[in-house]
Each structure stands twice: as C-alpha cells, then as structure tokens.
Structure 1
C-alpha cells in the first residue's frame, strides 16, 4: 500500500477524500469574547500574565 492509499483497494484514496470536504464561506456570527473569560493572553509582564477584558 502506498502512502495515502486505501488498503486492499477498499475505501477512498486520501487525496479523493480530501476533495470531498465541503468548502464554504466563513461564518463569524455567534462568537462572544465574554464567553471565554478563562482565556489568557500570552503576554507576560513582571506582574504576571496579562488578562484582557
């Protein structure tokens, strides 16, 4: 079997499976930064990590 090939001729080749992944416009609705208060900016100062509000 070659890399990305289907075993014993069954299934799809990797390249063919990737071609079947649907492509759509990006949807930017529904995200609210306030819902993720546990996220911490990776900026670190002498006082510790910087939390954004």
Structure 2
C-alpha cells in the first residue's frame, strides 16, 4: 500500500474528501491530487495531513 493509498483511506475513514483536505492544507485541489498521484508528499506535508485528520 502506497502513502497515497493510506492518505485516501484515512480521509474516507474520517469522512473528509481529498478536496477538503487539500483546502485545509492550503493547497489547490489539483496540485494535491497530482502529489497523491505521483506519490511525492514530503515529510512536512505528511505531518500536516496527520494533524488535520
């Protein structure tokens, strides 16, 4: 399972869409989806995702 899969699964469990997560992180939806698609999230971004979720 990739990091992107884990982020998507966590969002689903929390009832939060990827678009809302992107907004909470201060990123555009399109940019965040691309990062998930390429699996290029930084450690800092992963920490921010953990805080939001």
TM tier, shorter chain? under 0.3
TM-score by length of 2: 0.22
Higher Rg of the two aligned structures: 1
TM-score by length of 1: 0.22
Higher strand share: 1
Q: Greater RCO between the two (CA within 8 Å, min separation 6)?
A: 2
Higher helix share: 2
